[in-house]
Amino acid sequence: MRATSPLLALVHQDCAGHQPIWGHPERPERLAAAREGARRAGAREAEIDIDDVRALAAVARVHHPDLAPRLASACRGTTPATFDCADNSISAGTYNAALGAVRATLAGVDALLAGQARCAWVGARPPGHHALHRRAMGFCFFNNAAIAAEELRARGAASVAVVDFDVHHGNGTQDHFFARSDVFFLSVHRYPFYPGSGAGDEIGGGEGRGFTRNYPLAAGAGDDIYVAAVEAGLEDVMRVTRPDAWVVSAGFDAHVADPLGGMNVSSNGFERIGKLIASAAAGKPILAVLEGGYQVSALTESVHAFLSGLVGSGRA
Q: Which residues are catalytic?
A: 130
Say if residues 108 and 152 touch (Cβ distance below 8 Å): no
The sheet carrying 44-45 orders its strands as: 44-45, 7-10, 119-122, 286-290, 245-250, 160-164, 183-190, 212-217
Query: In the 3-class helix/strand/coil scheme, how is 69-132 assigned residue by residue?
Result: HHHHHHCCCCCCEEECEEEEEECCCHHHHHHHHHHHHHHHHHHHHCCCCCEEEECCCCCCCCCC
Distance from chain centroid for Cα 239 = 23
Rounding to the nearest 10 degrees, give the CA dihedral for residues 121, 154, 52, 143: -60
16-to-89, 101, 227 alpha-carbon distances in Å: 14, 10, 31
Report the first-to-last Cα separation within the chain, whole angstroms.
Answer: 30
If we measure between CA atoms, which residue out of 176, 212, 213, 219 comes closest to residue 194? 219
If we measure between CA atoms, which residue out of 90, 119, 67 comes closest to residue 311? 119
Read off the DSSP letter of residue 282: T
Phi and psi (nearest 5°) for 287? Answer: -115, 120
